[in-house]
Amino acid sequence: GYHRLVKENRDLYNIVQDLKGNIRVYCRIRPVFNDEAGSIVDFIGQDDSLAISDPSKPQSEGRKIFNFNKVFGPTCSQNDIYADIQPLIRSVMDGYNVCIFAYGQTGSGKTHTMSCPSDGSSEEDMGISHLALNDLFRLSNMRKDDAEYEIQVQMVEIYNEQVRDLLKFEICSADGGSMSLSDATMHSVKSTADVIRLMKLGDDNRVISSSTALNDRSSRSHSILTVQVSGKEISGCTLQSCLHFVDLASSSERVENPEEAMYINKSLSCLGDVITALAQKNSHIPYRNSKLTLLLQDSLSPGGRTKTLMFAHINPERDSFAETISTLKFAQRVSTDELGGVRGNKECSEVMQLKEQVERLKEALGGNK
């Protein structure tokens, strides 16, 4: 009885999450740093919109409002963000494949959101990949009477449409161009600390010339951290699912090398096409146009067992106006909001009903413990 209730509760929970939309677009505005000119972005208090002013126009004319599933203002902490996406992360343990993308120009906070500062400093600044790993390990431990889980990670980089395994501790083969995620090495991990150790090694393996600073290098390639969860429940059910953290190459008109710029723009626009096609429920999804979408195909497919979250990052300084507008336009293009999806805070009555049912089941479960 108890196990069945737990399972039903989880299923209902996932249905509620499904109805909230399997493709979500969030926006995060990073704080203005002291040495930069004032902010042109207004987090207008509602949690789903922001206003941006064109610094070259009078205040009254140049203001534009953008809506997303959610907007996180500059004072939002890593934990605030994680609290919102926790159900999405936990759905991986119920068999969903989840992709989380960080999009934005250089210095807008993509790596900050995804990862922890590379000096590994304070606990409170840990990004969502580390908070998620902590959570997955905690959850697999909590459920250990009902199921056995194995967690493995992969780390790959896509640079100029070449895929590299960052955790293959040998000389990378020259045919990286035809690699798929199933070819990348998998590393069994028992704790978040194991993953951090691997990620440090992975960062050292990044291919682009070591004469440039890490931030500069990472700006020009996509990096994908994949967490694979394999589970076997005592009921006999097995599951295998993936969680991908994708720190995208920076969207920027400022990339100097024209070849690099071409590859970056092409792959970002292909990703946009795929997400838009998914949101519009098109029968043809154009995965084959870029390595990124091809690699992530299994986690970006229609049919209910995949979820996608895109964080569009905004740098609020004046100088970034053009890039901010281009980031917002891209994010708006893939936003289900524009495409008629259900908005996070405007739930239909079906969701409300299911929520009530979840609450009732929770109560029933509480009485059973």
Rounded-to-integer distance, Cα 209 and Cα 206, Å = 9
Interaction between residue 31 and ligand ADP (CB under 6 A)? yes
**4 token code pair:** 């069945």
120 is in an annotated binding site: no
Tell me the sheet residues that pair with 195: none
At 150, give phi and psi (nearest 5°).
-120, 135
Roughly what angle, to the nearest 10 degrees, separates helices 349-368 and 2-19?
160
CB 318 within 8 A of CB 32: no
Partner that binds at residue 115, options ligand ADP, Mg ion, none, CB closer than 5 to 8 Å by kind: none
- Under the criterion CB under 6 A, does residue 106 sit at the interface with ligand ADP? yes
223 binds, among Mg ion, ligand ADP, none (CB under 5 to 8 A by kind): none
Closer to Mg ion by CB, 117 or 286: give it: 117
| Number of C-beta neighbours around residue 123 at 10 A | 9
Strand partners, 63: 53
Kindly state whether residue 108 participates in binding ligand ADP, applying the rule CB under 6 A.
yes
Structure tokens at 248: 């995208």
**Any idea what DSSP says for residue 247?**
E
Instruction: Enumerate residues 77-116 that contact Mg ion by CB under 5 A.
Output: 110-111
What is the distance between the alpha carbons of residues 117 and 30, in angstroms, rounded to a whole number? 15
Considering beta carbons, is residue 92 or 248 the nearer one to Mg ion?
248
- Select 36 or 54, whichever has its Cβ closest to ligand ADP: 36
Query: Are 52 and 324 a contacting pair, CB within 8 Å?
Result: yes
Q: Which region, judged by CB under 6 A, interacts with ligand ADP, from 100-108, 259-267, 281-289, 291-299?
A: 100-108
DSSP symbol at 191: S
Residue 39 as a binder of ligand ADP (CB under 6 A): the answer is no
Q: How far apart are CA 50 and CA 41, in angstroms?
A: 7
* Closest CB to ligand ADP among residues 222, 343: 222
Instruction: State in angstroms the smallest separation of the CB of 147 from Mg ion.
Output: 35
Tell me the residue number closest to ligand ADP, measured at CB.
Answer: 109
Which residues, 6 or more positions from 282, have their beta carbon under 8 angstroms from its beta carbon?
Answer: none
Q: Is 111 annotated as a binding residue?
A: yes
| Interaction of residue 223 with ligand ADP, rule CB under 6 A | no
Q: How far is the CB of 214 from Mg ion (least distance, A)?
A: 8
Q: Which of 109, 176, 316, 341 binds ligand ADP (CB under 6 A)?
A: 109
If one counts every other C-beta atom within 10 angstroms of the C-beta of residue 213, the result is 9
The two tokens of residue 262 are 């071409």
Please tell me the distance from the alpha carbon of residue 24 to that of residue 331, in angstroms, as a whole number. 10
Residue with tokens 């043809």: 284
Q: Is 105 annotated as a binding residue?
A: yes
Per CB under 5 A, contacts with Mg ion among 211-230 are 218
Question: How near is the Cβ of 216 to Mg ion at its closest, in Å?
Answer: 9
Residue 2: count other Cβ atoms within 10 Å of its Cβ: 11
Binding mask 9-28 for ligand ADP (x = CB under 6 A): --------------------
Q: Which of 21, 71, 97, 107 binds ligand ADP (CB under 6 A)?
A: 107
Binding residues for ATP: 104-111
Which positions lie near Mg ion, rule CB under 5 A? 110-111, 218
Binding residues: 104-111
Which positions lie near ligand ADP, rule CB under 6 A? 30-31, 104, 106-112, 117, 215, 219, 313
